[in-house]
Amino acid sequence: MKAIVLKPGTTSIQLKDVEEPMIQKPTDVKMKVLSVGICGTDREEASGGRADAPQGESELVIGHEMCGQIVEVGSLVKDFKVGDYAVFTVRRGCGHCEACLADHYDMCYTGQYTERGIKGRHGYQAEFAVDDEKYLIKIPETIKDIAVLTEPTTVVEKAIEEACHIQTSRLPGHNKESWLQGKTALIAGLGPIGLLGAMVLALRGAKVIGIDIVDKDSSRPKILEELGGTYINAKETSLDNLLKQHPQIDLILEAAGIAKLDFDLFDILGMNGVYVLTGVPAEGKPLDVNGAHIMKQIVLKNQVVLGSVNASFDNFHSAVKDLESGLKKWPTTIPKIISHKIPFKEFEKVLSKHSPDEIKVIITWAA
Q: What Cα–Cα distance (Å) separates residue 109 from each residue in 55, 65, 93, 113, 171?
A: 21, 24, 10, 9, 29
Rg, C-alpha atoms of the chain? 21
pLDDT tier for residue 64 given thresholds of 50, 70 and 90: very high
pLDDT of residue 172: 81
Q: What Cα–Cα distance (Å) separates residue 87 from each residue in 59, 84, 124, 158, 350?
A: 23, 10, 10, 17, 22
Q: What is the DSSP letter of 54?
A: P
Question: Quick check: 341 pLDDT over 90?
Answer: yes
Question: Quick check: 283 pLDDT over 90?
Answer: no
Question: Quick check: 285 pLDDT over 80?
Answer: yes
The backbone torsions φ and ψ at residue 161, rounded to the nearest 5 degrees and listed phi first, read -60, -45
**Mean pLDDT of the 131-158 span:** 98
pLDDT of residue 109: 98
pLDDT of residue 354: 83
* Domain 153-307 in the same topology as domain 2-139+335-364: no
pLDDT tier for residue 174 given thresholds of 50, 70 and 90: confident
Q: What is the DSSP letter of 154?
A: H
Domain 153-307 carries which CATH code? 3.40.50.720
Q: Using alpha carbons only, what angle is made at residue 333 by residues 329 and 338, rounded to the nearest 5 degrees?
A: 130
Reported pTM = 0.96
Per domain, the residue ranges of the chain are 2-139+335-364, 153-307
**CATH superfamily of this structure's domain 2-139+335-364:** Medium-chain alcohol dehydrogenases, catalytic domain (3.90.180.10)
The one-letter code for the residue type at 1 is M
First to last CA, the chain: 16
